[in-house]
Amino acid sequence: MATLDTAPRPVSPAAGATVATGRRGTRRRKRRGNGMVGWVFLAPFAVVFLLFLVGPLLYAFYLSLFTNGLATGEEFAGLANYSRAFTDPAFLSGVWFVVRFAVVVIPVQMLVSLAAALVLDSLTSRFATFSRLMIFVPYAIPAVIGAVLWGFLYSPNFGPLEQLFGEGAPFLLSPDNLFYGLTNVVTWQWAGYYMIIIYAALQGIDPAVYEAARMDGAKAWQIALKIKIPMISSALVLILVFAVIGTLQFFTEPQVLLPISNGSITTDITPNVYAFNLAFRFAQFNYASAISFALGIVVFIGVYVFLFLTRKRGGFLK
Amino acid sequence: MSVLSSPVRADDAVHALREGRRARRPRRRRTGSHLFLAFLVLYFVLPLWFLIVASTKSPGGLFNSPNGALWFGEDFALFDNLSTLFTYNDGIYLRWLGNSLLYAFGGGIGATILAVLAGYAFAKFDFPGRRLSFALLLGAVMVPMTALVIPTFVMLSEVELTNTAWAVILPSMLSPFGVYLMRVYTADGVPDELLDAARMDGAGEFRTFFQVALPLMRPAIVTVLLLSVVGTWNNYFLPLAVLSDSELFPITVGINLWQGLAGANNGGGVSLYTLIVVGSLVSIIPLIAAFLGLQRYWQGGLSIGSLK
């Protein structure tokens, strides 16, 4: 086995022969790979995958087929929990809330991160480097802490809004303003992360492309709009998928801000908050499982359809 | 983009080409762009600034500061606050910090090891069921992880693992996206020829992996490790669901516990708001330091997934 370090590298004239055997070796490897070597490497992950992804999903589905009443005990109920969920105003309003929220917050996040990335990509100053890090910093802050911090800043007791606006200061967690209050927290938390992904993709573009456009008389904003954005469309799709998945399972921020919102954040504000409270406040694990499973399936199908559509469009753009 | 619109433009362009790099970055100051950035920086740093300022205030000054919430008060109580933080409730805060470290590194290192092995398998081997498993993996990236929390809790409680460190660490080892990143990176970053050469030289599969492939996978490994450590450190839903003993809480659930108590005025003579503020500040320092220190690695690594 010691040959690895000491064996001479294949040099000509034998090089041609080595390459040839190398190719044959590839084929042989693939045939040998048909054995179990690949599975040996995959096995540890596969076990965790089965135990903590497939297992809980199937188990959630199983649990969701039963009801558990105090008097009746556990009882097979078929799809009754699902028909209950889809007629439950609390669940439906939660779904409606996250859908509305996604429609507003995702474009806001994408615009902020895209604008920031485009500007950063066009600058080389030290201040730009510094700004890039500062914009990214919220990603390193746990969502709980972020929500607590914004809760302080919104607070009429010791937040700065009161000092800026005086008595008439808006309380961003009041029923009327809640939507904007939460949009702000989520945008602040995630825009920097998206910005970094977009920025990395922009940096990967060959500058010669811009050169050609500039020779054709293109202005900076034209280059941004017609060259840069189309060339990073796969990064944008990736971010969009993350944002959709993340927004539909919205949980941490409303759950953390709930106690200080004076009741405008309810225990059914999003499907996840609702499922959590059903399970851990009211011990309705069967119904909560049905909601978790329904949410998981809806998100999965939604994202899958979206990816399918954008894949075609992406191919068309190229 | 239209063709050259005027000869003057064409001249400029040729000039620009001759002058090369310097001409490509015009020496204008770009004031507008910098103002825009300055505005963004102010917005993104505002809560942090508030946190730093508030950490230096005494419990009374937190609510009633003559200079407002966004500027330092008259007293400088940071060190008093810190000592209260670390001694309150027999130093429960340090326990939470330790728990967070344990969960984040246990879950993160585990997730990274699994992702490295699985990503290598997907990228470099042709085994039966490979296509199906990879399709399953891509599907799993799209499954919202929070949908798994409640059934995971019920499953773990049936094997009596709830309220243990394992209940947080084991589920955190699942990172389908990490596997995907490793696969994408390894497919190009580790040339087949090199692996074949090692095999030709008589190295077994494991030796080939450890001595040839693994060193080449380093940038992706750092990225996946950082992402999964951060993901576990920041996780809230899972520990909130599976842990009930406050001695086992990570920092996120702990701070949230204080926040709930502070609202109900249950601090027992100590201002919990001050503890929340100082505790938040201390808890975010390690991650910010890690990100700043390791930026060379993750900034490149984050683009791996988006380029394919």
Give CA A255 to chain center in angstroms. 18
Nearest of A23, A207, A226 to residue A121 by alpha carbon: A207
Check whether residue B69 and residue B173 sit in a common domain: no
Using a CB-CB cut-off of 8 Å, the residues of chain A touching B144 are 245, 248-249, 295-296, 299-300
Q: What is the model's pLDDT at position B302?
A: 65
Q: Which of residues 235-294 of A touch B (CB under 8 A)?
A: 235, 238-239, 241, 245, 248-249, 251-252, 255-256, 259-260, 272, 275-276, 279-280, 285, 288-289, 292-293
d(CA A246, CA A192): 15
Give CA B206 to chain center in angstroms. 30
| Residue B12 domain flag | no
Domain residues for the domain of B71 are 28-76
Check whether residue B32 and residue B130 sit in a common domain: no
Contact present, A94 and A101 (Cβ < 8 Å): no
Q: What is the model's pLDDT at position B178?
A: 92
**Across A25-50, average pLDDT:** 73
Check whether residue B47 and residue B144 sit in a common domain: no
Number of domains in chain B: 2
Q: What is the model's pLDDT at position A306?
A: 79
Check whether residue B66 and residue B108 sit in a common domain: no
Q: What is the model's pLDDT at position A311?
A: 66
Check whether residue B176 and residue B297 sit in a common domain: yes
Nearest of B151, B153, B150, B175 to residue B164 by alpha carbon: B153
User: What is the least distance, in Å, from the CA of A176 to any CA of chain B?
Assistant: 22
Q: What is the model's pLDDT at position A254?
A: 93
| Residue B17 domain flag | no
Q: What is the model's pLDDT at position A27?
A: 42
* Helix, strand, coil fractions of chain A, as percent rounded to 5: 75, 5, 20
Please tell me which residue, B16 or A142, carries the higher pLDDT value: A142
Collapse the DSSP code of B231 into the 3-class scheme (helix H, G, I; strand E, B; otherwise coil) and give the result. Answer: helix
- Is A94 within 8 Å of chain B by CB? no
DSSP tag of A72:
T
Q: Which residues contact B201 (CB under 8 A, 6 or more apart)?
A: A3, A4, A7
In CATH, the architecture of A82-317 is Orthogonal Bundle (1.10)
A176 pLDDT band, cuts 50/70/90, is confident
| Residue B183 domain flag | yes
Q: Which range (A33-37, A188-192, B149-153) has the least confidence?
A: A33-37
d(CA A77, CA A79): 6
B183-225 residue pLDDT tens? 988 988 899 999 999 988 888 888 999 999 999 998 889 889 9
Check whether residue B142 and residue B277 sit in a common domain: yes
Check whether residue B235 and residue B124 sit in a common domain: yes
Nearest of B297, B262, B308, B306 to residue B112 by alpha carbon: B297
d(CA A52, CA B153): 11
Contact B147 A293 (CB under 8 A): yes
Written as one letter, the residue type at A122 is S
A284-315 residue pLDDT tens? 889 999 998 888 888 888 888 877 777 654 43
A204-260 residue pLDDT tens? 888 888 888 888 888 888 888 888 999 888 888 888 888 888 898 899 999 999 888
Residue % of chain A over a pLDDT of 70: 83
Q: Which of residues 36-65 of A touch B (CB under 8 A)?
A: 36-42, 44-46, 48-49, 51-53, 55-57, 59-60, 63
Contact A148 B308 (CB under 8 A): no
The CATH number for B151's domain is 1.10.3720.10
Query: Residue for token digits 């790979």?
Result: A33
- Scored b (16 or more CB within 10 A) or e, A176-213 reads eebeebbbbbbbbbbbbbbbbbbbbbbeeeeeeebeeb
Check whether residue B171 and residue B54 sit in a common domain: no
Contact B283 A226 (CB under 8 A): no
Contact A149 B50 (CB under 8 A): yes
Which among B121, B142, B307 has CB closest to A42?
A: B121
- Is A148 within 8 Å of chain B by CB? yes
Please tell me which residue, A297 or A143, carries the higher pLDDT value: A143
- Scored b (16 or more CB within 10 A) or e, B196-216 reads bbbbebebebeebbeebbeeb
Residue A107: cis peptide before it, omega within 30 degrees of 0: no
Contact A133 B295 (CB under 8 A): yes
C-alpha distance from residue A275 to each of A9, A30, A143, A279, A295 (Å): 61, 47, 19, 6, 10
Residue A68 β-bridge partners: A74
In the predicted model, residues of chain B with pLDDT beneath 70 are: 1-29, 264-269, 299-308
Decide: residue B261, CB within 10 A, 0-12 exposed, 13-18 middle, 19+ buried: middle
Most A CBs within 10 Å, among B236, B238, B243, B266, to test the A interface:
B236
Most A CBs within 10 Å, among B11, B22, B109, B127, to test the A interface:
B127
Check whether residue B36 and residue B160 sit in a common domain: no
Chain B residue at shortest CA distance from A61: B151
Q: The pTM is what? A: 0.83
Q: What is the model's pLDDT at position A16?
A: 38
Q: What is the model's pLDDT at position B189?
A: 87
Residue-averaged pLDDT of chain A: 82
Using a CB-CB cut-off of 8 Å, the residues of chain A touching B3 are 216
Q: Which residues contact B58 (CB under 8 A, 6 or more apart)?
A: B73, B75, B77, B80, B81, B274
Q: Which range (A44-48, A270-274, B286-290) has the least confidence?
A: B286-290
Check whether residue B99 and residue B213 sit in a common domain: yes
Kindly report the number of other CB atoms within 10 A of residue A302's CB atom.
Answer: 16
A32 pLDDT band, cuts 50/70/90, is very low
| Residue B234 domain flag | yes
DSSP letters spanning A198-265: HHHHHHTS-THHHHHHHHTT--HHHHIIIIIHHHTHHHHHHHHHHHHHHHHT--HHHHHHGGGTTTSS
Check whether residue B114 and residue B196 sit in a common domain: yes
For residue A257, what are its two tokens?
């801000």
Collapse the DSSP code of B88 into the 3-class scheme (helix H, G, I; strand E, B; otherwise coil) and give the result. Answer: helix
Q: What is the model's pLDDT at position A309?
A: 79
A64-87 residue pLDDT tens? 998 877 666 778 888 889 999 989
Using a CB-CB cut-off of 8 Å, the residues of chain B touching A46 are 118, 133
**CATH 1.10.3720.10 segments of chain A:** 82-317
d(CA B154, CA B216): 41
Check whether residue B32 and residue B146 sit in a common domain: no
